[in-house]
Amino acid sequence: MTQMQNDFYRTQNKEIMEKLSVLNLRHSLSAALLYSCFVQGYKPASSVNVNKIIYKNLRGCFEYIQDEQFKRLISAD
């Protein structure tokens, strides 16, 4: 991810910025869910697909979420 950030600083490429934004949001959401489950003593009955949560809530906000690369992440979980 550091290389991607450096590429963005160098090129100011919007696609790289969107991908970094989505990856950072995904990481933050994952951390918040883990913490919340731990604090509440909750154990989900099945796996939590953070990529699906991101897709359902932000698909209209970032072009990268509509990209086939991201859509493959949704089915990979």
Q: How confident is the prediction along the chain (77 residues), in pLDDT tens digits per residue?
A: 789 999 999 999 999 999 999 999 999 999 999 999 999 999 999 999 999 999 999 999 999 999 999 999 888 65
Q: Map residue 76 onto helix, strand or coil.
A: helix
Domain total for the chain?
1
State the pLDDT at residue 20. 95
pTM: 0.83
State the pLDDT at residue 66. 92
The single residue listed with the structure tokens 């731990």 is 38
Give residue 8's domain range.
Answer: 2-76
DSSP assignment letter at 47: -
The percent of residues above 70 in pLDDT, for the chain, comes to 97
